[in-house]
Amino acid sequence: MDQPIKRIHLIGLGLIGGSIALSVKKEFPDAWITGYDINQSQLEIAKTLTVIDEAAGSQFENIETADLIILAAPVEQTLSMIETLSGMKLKKDVIITDVGSTKQKITACAATAFKGDVHFIGGHPMAGSHKSGVTAARAHLFENAFYILTPAKTTSEDSLNKLKNILKGTNAHFIEMTPEVHDEVTGVISHFPHIVAASLVHQAGRFEDTHPVIKRLAAGGFRDITRIASSSPAMWRDILLHNKEKLLTLFADWEREMSRVKDMVEDLDSLALFSYFKDAKDYRDGLPEREKGAIPSFYDLYVDVPDYPGVISEITGYLAMEEISITNIRIIETREEIYGVLRLSFQTDIDRERAQKCIEKYTDYKTFFS
């Protein structure tokens, strides 16, 4: 690969953009990253934390010197930026990539906008966190995650390899697929599950009018299985609108599936219902446990703790001694004179395993994964 990537222009300094920048700097400390974010405080924090080397005064300031342009913004803004970039004088053989959760509209827009010496390669790092902003960025965020690339038929092998090389510090698994396949697959395992989670929450909300106790009862498992409904409303609005055709097909499939289950219940078909749940259990139990997928994983550790003052600070104190960071902590249940359940959330599976060993080393409390 001649003329390696040395100058990077990164637009969008949230969790994803910031984590990409950190992973690039880890592998290529001499790469110069100019960053921009519409949120001035995010931009200043990114510079202070040395996530970027230089803060751009405007979105496209000095972008003509960049070897690589990364658009780490929501899909609608990405489309707008592509249109603007198409009318600018960019460096010969510059590579442009994005991080959007849908790919068909973005790649189609780029195919029309860029010709000749501008190489657009769609991207989607399939990892995230339940925290946002550049302060949550981590160089290891994408480790062992799938990083989808959707190169066009005209994309040169050289530009594709250059992009993979500059991103190798992510330690992600690169997979190439067409934009159409990407949107269909992510529709099944990410987009539609978010719709289902949101619909379950809406259903519970409607029942609360006649059964006020429902909110209290939903605080445990129901809250857990609908966690993804707490994702950004603006982001999911845009994803659904941009993946409209694939999702309409999935809606039809889901309606047929629910009708099938409804018929089993109406017919009191116990054998069919047993098989339905057993097949689902078998398939779910066979899914990879330690690979990151389209929906951010929850690295939770549950601890049975006695109910006495200071028990939470005791646990967190042991973790602090071992320099293990907690992303969230919650008491699920605690009643006088019995053991309660403390849920600790971590950034990675490695941190969760370290925490389990730490707690077992200093206490006799029982720990378990969900």
Q: In this predicted structure, what is the pLDDT of residue 130?
A: 62
The contacts of residue 329 (CB under 8 Å, 6+ apart) are 312, 316, 342, 343, 344, 345
* CA gap 298, 308 in Å, rounded: 28
Yes or no: say if 73 and 81 are a contact pair by the CB < 8 Å rule. Answer: yes
Sheet holding 367-368, edge to edge: 328-333, 340-346, 299-305, 367-368
* CA gap 302, 307 in Å, rounded: 15
* CA gap 366, 303 in Å, rounded: 6
CA dihedral 93, 123, 139, 48 (to 10 degrees): 60
Cα-to-chain-centroid distance, residue 31 = 25
Yes or no: say if 20 and 147 are a contact pair by the CB < 8 Å rule. Answer: no
Per-residue CA distances from 72 to 19, 45, 76, 152 (Å): 10, 17, 11, 19
* CA gap 141, 118 in Å, rounded: 29
* CA gap 331, 117 in Å, rounded: 56
Cβ atoms < 10 Å from Cβ of 319 = 21
Specify the DSSP element, H or E, that contains 204.
helix 192-208
pLDDT along the chain (370 residues), means of 10: 84 95 96 96 94 95 96 94 95 96 96 92 85 86 92 93 96 95 95 95 92 84 85 90 95 97 97 96 84 67 82 90 86 57 82 91 84
Q: In this predicted structure, what is the pLDDT of residue 264?
A: 97
Domains of the chain plus CATH, in order, are: 7-176 (3.40.50.720), 182-285 (1.10.3660.10), 299-368 (3.30.2130.10)
Q: pTM of the prediction?
A: 0.79
Q: For the CA atoms of the chain, what is the radius of gyration?
A: 23
The contacts of residue 81 (CB under 8 Å, 6+ apart) are 11, 59, 71, 73
Q: In this predicted structure, what is the pLDDT of residue 333?
A: 58
Residue 190 is given by DSSP the state I
Task: Show the tokens assigned to 144.
Answer: 């062992």
Q: In this predicted structure, what is the pLDDT of residue 369?
A: 76
Where in the chain does DSSP place strands (E)?
7-11, 32-36, 54-55, 68-71, 94-98, 118-126, 146-151, 173-176, 299-305, 328-333, 340-346, 367-368
Query: What phi, psi does 356 have (nearest 5°)?
Result: -60, -45
Q: At what angle do helices 233-242 and 192-208 cross, to 10 degrees?
A: 130
